[in-house]
Homo-oligomer: A and B are copies of this chain.
Amino acid sequence: MSTGPELLRGHLDALLLGVLADRPAHGYAVIERLRERSAGAFDLAEGTVYPALHRLERDGLLSSRWSSEPGRPRRVYSVTRRGVSALSAHRGTWRSFAQAVDRVLGESVLSEAGR
């Protein structure tokens, strides 16, 4: 990740559900889309994404099927109904989190200049 390590912690599920809510995709494509959508900020390793996808499927937020299209076999993931509502919850959580950080980081902007 170009934004620095560790920042992602706890937000990955939301991001994966976010890209997949748009339209289904296989793991490799998820990584690319995440990189594109974030303008390069999220450049995740496969070892980060695949286990997370598996976990989300195990928890019923994603479902997968093997693509029947010719060429390399791909596991295509879709967001389930439960996944959609989980994403919606994640969005709310993210908003409060971001707002809280903004408040803490923002309120001392003025005092910063006077140092």
* A residues neighboring B (CB under 8 Å): 2-11, 14-15, 18-19, 21-23, 34, 37-39, 41-42, 81, 84, 87-88, 90-91, 93-94, 96-105, 107-108, 111-112, 115
Contact = CB atoms under 8 A, between A and B. Distances in A.
A108 B42 contact: no
A10 B104 CA distance: 15
B103 A38 contact: yes
B4 A100 contact: no
Contacts of A22: 107-108, 111
A93 B21 contact: no
Given A3-B100, A4-B93, A7-B10, 5 more contacts: A18-B105, A23-B111, A84-B115, A98-B101, A98-B102
